[in-house]
Amino acid sequence: MPPILCVLEQRDGVLRRVSHEVVAAGRKLADDMGTTVDALVFGQAAVEGVEALGASGADRVLLATHDAFRHYSPDGQTATTAGLAAGYSVIVFAATATGKDLAPRVAARVGTSCATEVTEIGVLDGQVVVTRPVYAGRAIQRVRLTASPAVLSIRPNTFPAAETGKPGTMVAIPTPDFTARVEVVEVKAPAEGVLDVGEATIVVSGGRGLKGPENFSLIEDLADAFGQAAVGASRAVVDAGWRDHSAQVGQTGKTVSPALYVAIGISGAIQHLAGMRTAKVIVAINRDKDAPIFKVADYGIVGDLFEVVPRMAAEVRKLRAEG
């Protein structure tokens, strides 16, 4: 059986955490299929963190270096990945902004299909079977991938990073000739310390119930109380200019699957639910007891968020202080 190829991501020369989850997904498939895992890393030069990929489940780490790979290079990374595709049975990406662009490019280049936002994987009769949400999260689809290679992208925070403890072999690979039709002109990095909602294990999101951008300090304070938590927002909030689009959770924003999702002042439009309903635990705070968000929430608080949220932040800090 040909090996599994995991296509990983880095930012500013540092391997992204979601890359270890991609390797974990690849490792599971490889164990079920009786094969090995190669991890493909793109970078301008050395990428910090690749030495730990063996412990996450990679048998080999393929290093592709090029000046264009300082940032995401659609043409270069598509050409490189597609050039390797024939030697693999499955190619796994992360369903991040980069992965959602690169995975279908590679699939189209090699003439196969692409299953996106995968939340479960398995093998049936030698073929990959995946589970993914459809219809804005209202239904779950189970799909057998019959094409070769099978191409799929996994939803972040769905496959915990593995710890096999074994070292991986580092292999430098050549980069094929390509014409870069896209040039990175400017990168607007998030403020230092701001977590990506797509990768955070705890997300605290606010909606129009906050009544104004100045009240997002309540959301930020609760996120701070939790520690490593990201601040998210509904589409209505982003459209109103209260928060940047990078914080938007939902069908037209980012899809998240954190361990804990706290929705504050968010009614629960279907577009928002599509982006967060696979969170492990959902807590909703809203004064409207009939708000749709309560239909997907594990815990709901019907009350005035301006009273509930400060008290919740205080209790979270108290519990953390007690250890």
Whole-angstrom distance between the N-terminal and C-terminal Cα of the chain? Answer: 48
Domains of the chain, start order: 4-172 (3.40.50.620), 202-321 (3.40.50.1220)
Contact in structure between 156 and 201 (CB atoms under 8 Å): no
User: Please, what is the Cα angle at 43 between 90 and 104, to 5 degrees?
Assistant: 35
Contact in structure between 308 and 209 (CB atoms under 8 Å): no
pLDDT tens, position by position, 257-277: 999 999 999 999 999 999 999
The number of beta carbons lying within 10 Å of the beta carbon of residue 53 is 26
Considering only CA atoms, which of 69, 83, 3 is closest in space to residue 39? 3
pLDDT tens, position by position, 133-188: 888 777 899 999 999 999 999 998 889 887 766 778 999 999 999 998 988 888 87
CA distance 135 to 125: 28
- DSSP conformational letter for 263: E
Q: What percent of the chain has pLDDT over 70?
A: 99
75: pLDDT strictly greater than 90: yes
Contact in structure between 283 and 206 (CB atoms under 8 Å): no
Residue 180 C-alpha from the chain's centroid: 26
pLDDT on residue 165: 64
- DSSP conformational letter for 162: P
Q: What percent of the chain has pLDDT over 90?
A: 79
Mean of pLDDT over the chain = 93
48: pLDDT strictly greater than 70: yes
Where do the DSSP E strands lie in the chain? 4-7, 10-11, 14-15, 37-43, 60-65, 90-94, 114-118, 120-124, 127-134, 139-145, 150-154, 169-172, 202-206, 230-233, 260-264, 281-286, 299-302
Reduced to 3 states (helix: H, G, I; strand: E, B; else coil), residue 89 is coil
User: Please, what is the Cα angle at 183 between 71 and 115, to 5 degrees?
Assistant: 60
Reduced to 3 states (helix: H, G, I; strand: E, B; else coil), residue 129 is strand
